[in-house]
Each structure stands twice: as structure tokens, then as C-alpha cells.
């Protein structure tokens, strides 16, 4: 799929750009005032970010532009799949939680996988802002970045959308479920 340089082959790049453009044009409410040509120019100038977006795509995240940071001139992508990305579920929160488990360890952790992909896990604030753009995680849940004080006590937080509202809950960081994954963000 990709090479060691974290760069897509030309045909992979074109396929990904087509997918991203189609999603961008179908969901203009997520990025009012943003032009695809500007986003595409930024993407073409940064092959490693394209590789990361491809990782988001192939794991089921359906990344899309959700904003533009005028101070840094960066476009912000979030995973916008209706449910938590399928290729990123059944993960405990972080390496410390994984190490804590004595048996039945998951294959990976949310934070490790995010780092491998080159993305940041959504913060609670970002998760809530994503939920302003549609109804996400109505059947699943997603780990969100956990404050250090909660994590120090063994916990981690996750969010979902039920009964017409966003809920943020807590769980042991070592827990993992088939219906819980994580969503990421990328700045380009």
C-alpha cells in the first residue's frame, strides 16, 4: 500500500484526492467558505500528510475538512465517518493501559495507533464541535484525549451521541470494546 517514506504512489494519490474532493463537495456545511483548490494545493505540497489522510481513509475514518486556521493557514481534517472508524476499534486507550492488562490484550492502543498514523486523537472540545456538523457515533463510541489528572487515576474518557445529545463518559483506560474506536485530527 505505502512505502517506507510514508508517501503514496501516484495512482494512490489520485484516488485519494478524488475521494476527498467528492466528500468535500458533498458536505459543504462542514467547511463553509473553504475552496477545494486551496485544500488540494496544500495537500499536493505535503506528501506525508497525504499518506496520513490515506491511513485515515483506509481505516474507515472518512476524513474531511472541518475548518481553516487563519493564523497558521492550515486546513483541519477530522474523521467524519458516521460511526467510529471500523479499522480503529477494539483498542484500549494507551500503552500504560495495555501493559496493565494481564490477559486478553488488544492488538494495539488508540494513542499508539494515532501516533503511527500521524494524527492526533480528538480532544473533548473537538469531539463536541464535530457533533455540531452532524450525528456521529449513534451506535458506537470514540475515545477522546483524556486529561492527565483523569489518566493518572487509571481512567480515560470517550464520547458518543445518544438521545439527541453528546455524552462524554469515563471508563478504565485498559477497557476495549468492539464498538469503541477513536477519531483523529490532522492539520495541513
- At 63-97, the pLDDT tens digits run 999 999 999 999 999 999 999 999 999 999 999 99
**What is the reported pLDDT for 4?**
61
Instruction: Quote the CA–CA distance of 58 and 157 in Å, as a whole number.
Output: 25
Q: How far apart are CA 143 and CA 122, in angstroms?
A: 8
Instruction: Specify the 3-state DSSP secondary structure of 105.
Output: coil
pTM of the model: 0.94
Mean pLDDT for all residues in the chain: 96
More confident of the two residues 3 and 152 = 152
pLDDT band at 1 (very low <50, low <70, confident <90, very high): very low
Q: Per-residue pLDDT tens for 24-56?
A: 999 999 999 999 999 999 999 999 999 999 999
Domain segments of the chain as ranges: 10-79, 86-182
By the 10 Å C-beta count (0-12 exposed, 13-18 middle, 19+ buried), 18 is classed as exposed
**pLDDT of the residue at 20:** 99
Distance separating alpha carbons of residues 68 and 31, to the nearest angstrom? 8
With 90 as the cut, is the pLDDT of residue 102 above it? no
- Give residue 5's pLDDT band: very low, low, confident or very high (50, 70, 90): confident
Amino acid at each position: 500500500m505505502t512505502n517506507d517514506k510514508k508517501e503514496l504512489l501516484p495512482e494512490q494519490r489520485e484516488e485519494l484526492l478524488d475521494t476527498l474532493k467528492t466528500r468535500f463537495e458533498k458536505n459543504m456545511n462542514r467547511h463553509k467558505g473553504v475552496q477545494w483548490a486551496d485544500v488540494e494545493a496544500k495537500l499536493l505540497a505535503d506528501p506525508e500528510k497525504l499518506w496520513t489522510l490515506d491511513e485515515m481513509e483506509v481505516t474507515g475514518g472518512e476524513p474531511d475538512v472541518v475548518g481553516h486556521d487563519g493564523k497558521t493557514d492550515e486546513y483541519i481534517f477530522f474523521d467524519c465517518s458516521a460511526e467510529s472508524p471500523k479499522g480503529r476499534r477494539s483498542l484500549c486507550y494507551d500503552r500504560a493501559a495495555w501493559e496493565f492488562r494481564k490477559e486478553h490484550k488488544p492488538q494495539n492502543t488508540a494513542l499508539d495507533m494515532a501516533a503511527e498514523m500521524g494524527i492526533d486523537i480528538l480532544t473533548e472540545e473537538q469531539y463536541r464541535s464535530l457533533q455540531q456538523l452532524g450525528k456521529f457515533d449513534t451506535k458506537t463510541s470514540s475515545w477522546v484525549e483524556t486529561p492527565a489528572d483523569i489518566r493518572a487515576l487509571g481512567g480515560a474518557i470517550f464520547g458518543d451521541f445518544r438521545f439527541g445529545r453528546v455524552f462524554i463518559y469515563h471508563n478504565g483506560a485498559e477497557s476495549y470494546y468492539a464498538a469503541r474506536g477513536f477519531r483523529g485530527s490532522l492539520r495541513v
